A and B are shown apart, each in its own frame.
Chain A
């Protein structure tokens, strides 16, 4: 370049300024324009272009995420419905088994009650029969006592005569006699 500059000078041309001689030195006007064009484009990009692009990026992300969320929600709902259904099924099964159990218990209660009632009826009948037998026996004893007394008195009066006609005395003798017999032996043996 030095040689070229010398050549130029020798030929009478103006000497080239160094920024023109050496391409690695900046031309001031171009340097300023470099800053300027960058600044202008930066303002356009930062104010308008990037916000628009970011907005659509966000919207797209939101749309995709929204879709995913929707699907997730649907799945969740389905799972919940299934769970609910299963819970209901379990509940129904438990209810059925409970009802069966109840019926069984009720049946057992009814049977026991019936048995009780039959038992008490039987008891009642047996007791009544016993009572009747007792009463009849009592009546028979009383009747027998009277009869035996009268027969014995009759017999004794026939044997001993009319002296024993006094009823009061005779009855006293008979009673005493009978008491002696009952005292010697159990009453059951009398009849």
Chain B
């Protein structure tokens, strides 16, 4: 697959290939059902999260210990900041498990991108964010149809009081939003951020290594140090982006569900 690398030939530098970097099959070769490294990581993240969450909440105390405090803080942020404030105190509690699972799963798998020795964000493989986005897609449609009825759900997409002439147009646009734009952007946003961030970090490390240890002059070796430094800074920045994307994904999940719950708004 190294033959895929078209760029950089002749200089001795092989830029990280977007396919080779991310396609890491462990068993099964280039097949749709091959076992890949991110699959193992995703399972590992679930084991890790389950153990942590169950252990930290095993002996609950009114005055929390350190582990309980960490779990409670994150839970409180998702429960109150994303759940109650957006969904309203009447309905939010039944969606809190969904939001909390979503946030913890995405955050952990994102942070895998900068945690050695994994250093690979699971969500940079499109299948994972797509699966999560499809779950959200199904949930907000089901919630909407359940709370407003099938007809009411489609009616609520068009704001009341519009001139009848533009109603079909708005309905078409809203239909597109509800059935195409939302799930696609939800999946692509997370995927794109992780994909780009990871390839940037790989480039920093591979490029810095080439500049510093490759067949280059002394002046160029100095720039290698700078690239490594840039890679360090980018790693910190990636950590921030990884948290932010987990938060944004969960926030949008809550907002979409809230839109399906609201019967009077719009």
B-binding residues in A (CB < 8 A):
3-4, 7-8, 11, 13-14, 16-17, 19-21, 23-35, 37-38, 40-42, 44-46, 48-50, 52-57, 59-60, 63
- Chain A residues, CB < 8 A from B30: 14, 16-17, 20
- Chain A residues, CB < 8 A from B46: 37, 40-41, 44
B60 to A, closest residue via Cβ: A56
| A29-B60 contact, Cβ under 8 Å, with A23-B126, A45-B53 | no
Complex Cα distance, B101 from A57, in Å, reads 18
Task: Tell me if A53 and B36 are in contact (CB < 8 A).
Answer: no
- Chain A residues, CB < 8 A from B45: 37
Task: List 16 interface pairs A-B (beta carbons < 8 Å), by A numbering.
Answer: A4-B4, A11-B3, A17-B30, A19-B32, A20-B19, A26-B126, A29-B31, A29-B127, A35-B131, A35-B134, A44-B49, A45-B97, A49-B75, A50-B96, A52-B57, A53-B60
Task: Tell me if B191 and A7 are in contact (CB < 8 A).
Answer: no
Contacting residue for B54 out of A7, A40, A44, A60, CB 8 A: A44
Decide yes or no whether B67 CB sits under 8 A from chain A: no
- Chain A residues, CB < 8 A from B105: 37-38, 41
Contacting residue for A42 out of B18, B38, B97, CB 8 A: B97
Task: Tell me if B33 and A31 are in contact (CB < 8 A).
Answer: no
Decide yes or no whether B13 CB sits under 8 A from chain A: no
- Which label, helix, strand, loop or mixed, suits the secondary structure of the B interface? helix
- Which label, helix, strand, loop or mixed, suits the secondary structure of the A interface? helix
Decide yes or no whether B71 CB sits under 8 A from chain A: yes
Given contacts A31-B128, A41-B105, A49-B54, 7 further A-B pairs with CB under 8 A are A11-B3, A19-B32, A26-B131, A38-B131, A48-B57, A49-B100, A52-B60
- Chain A residues, CB < 8 A from B31: 29
Complex Cα distance, B135 from A42, in Å, reads 12
Task: Tell me if B96 and A26 are in contact (CB < 8 A).
Answer: no
Task: Tell me if A42 and B3 are in contact (CB < 8 A).
Answer: no
Decide yes or no whether B251 CB sits under 8 A from chain A: no
Task: Tell me if B39 and A45 are in contact (CB < 8 A).
Answer: no
Contacting residue for B104 out of A25, A41, A55, CB 8 A: A41
A21: shortest Cβ distance to chain B, in Å? Answer: 7
Contacting residue for A55 out of B1, B3, B60, B128, CB 8 A: B60
Task: Tell me if A30 and B36 are in contact (CB < 8 A).
Answer: yes
Contacting residue for B43 out of A27, A37, A59, CB 8 A: A37
Task: Tell me if B3 and A53 are in contact (CB < 8 A).
Answer: no
| A59-B62 contact, Cβ under 8 Å, with A23-B126, A24-B188, A41-B104 | yes
Task: Tell me if A38 and B23 are in contact (CB < 8 A).
Answer: no
Decide yes or no whether B132 CB sits under 8 A from chain A: yes
Task: Tell me if B60 and A33 are in contact (CB < 8 A).
Answer: no
